[in-house]
Amino acid sequence: DGDVDGDDFLVWQSGFGSGTTHAEGDADADADVDGDDFLIWQSQFGSSSGSASAAVPEPAAVVLLFVLAAVGIRSRVVKR
């Protein structure tokens, strides 16, 4: 999906010892899923392929912003 995250760790974990392809966790293309592939995942964790042009806020962050704004407005009204 273009980013290195926990989903990729689960792929590595499920393919460890038996996987042989990139889809099974082989990050270094040596036809096995081992500790070297984990180190590659670890060093790239949190990065993305750069295919997205701009960051999109998570829906939860937007909801949190509206809740905080509503609480702030309500506290101003109650104090008067």
Model pLDDT for residues 9-59, shown as the tens digit of each residue? 888 888 888 888 888 888 888 988 988 888 888 888 887 765 444 455 556
Predicted TM-score (pTM) of the model is: 0.50
C-alpha to C-alpha distances, 70 to 8, 37, 60, 67, 79, nearest whole angstrom: 38, 47, 15, 5, 14
d(Cα 8, Cα 43) in Å, to the nearest integer?
13
